[in-house]
Every structure is written in C-alpha cells, then in structure tokens.
Structure 1
C-alpha cells in the first residue's frame, strides 16, 4: 500500500470485521451528513439541482438526519453554550416565514 513502509496484517473474526465495518460506515455517513449540513466547504454542499431530484421520502430522511446531528452537537456542549445555541436555533426557526 503506497505510503506505508511496513504493512502489518492482523486476523480478526468475520463477526468482528462486520461489526467494525458497520461502525465505520455509520461514522462515514454521519461525517458526510455533518459536512453537508454545515456546508464546511462548497464541495460538500448538496446543490439545488441535486435536492430537486430527491424524493419526498429522501428529503424527509435528510431533515431527520440533520436534526439528529444538531441534537448530538448541542448535547455535547457545556451547559452555558448549550443554552446559548438553543436560543439561537429557537430564534432562527421561530422567526422564519414559510
């Protein structure tokens, strides 16, 4: 493997491998969702044309995933910051006109 000078191989049971693979996939999915949500870089943003192609069910799933990311991030904050961000989100969402 290219950059690795000494490659080490280990043996794991199939069930352990499958469990680790599942966790890695979940992490990758959450990482992608977070980057899409915060728009950290333009390359991670979902473009309007892509959003228009999504089904209603896919859009609903995306909204729920983003809510879960927000809850997780706010839950990990210290208490004073948590209150500050909850107020910000309340003001942001409650003052929107749809």
Structure 2
C-alpha cells in the first residue's frame, strides 16, 4: 500500500506532521484555494485506495472514517498488534509448544 500511494504521490497525506489548512476564507489567494482543493482530492483518492484493498468485513468497519490519516493510524495499530502476536508465536515455537494454525 505504501508503495502504491508513494508511486501515486499520495502518501504525503498520511504524514502525521502534515499541517492542516486553515478554514477557507474570502481572503484566500487562488494559489491557496488550488492547494486546498488538491489536498482534498488527494485525501479522497488516498482514502479510496486504502479502502479498496480491504476485505469486505474490514471495508464496512473503516468506510465510516472520512480521513485517510484516521484509517492509517488504526491500520498501524493493527499491524503493531499482529507483529506482537507473531513474536509470541515464534517464542512459543522455540519452546516446542505447538500452536494450531
């Protein structure tokens, strides 16, 4: 997923340090308006690509989230938990404790 989003130049929207645009105002320049529009489009496309890769049951869980950052943060938490489980399983195997698939 990271590779795809990087290739599409969309991965930047998942950066937790990415600054938010201030609320739109009448004083915004055309450049600011264009940047805001591009960011909104990129976030929408990024969210769509992430959701598109999910299984149906996960799609239903994440589809209510409107921000790709929100999905990305939860996704990272899940991956961290999966990694911890893999470590535990390997330790149990090292101790010759069989774990059913």
What is the TM-score when the length of structure 1 is the normalising length?
0.43
TM-score scaled by length of structure 2: 0.42
**Relative contact order (alpha carbons < 8 A, sep ≥ 6): 1 or 2 greater?**
2
Structure having the larger proportion of residues in helix: 1
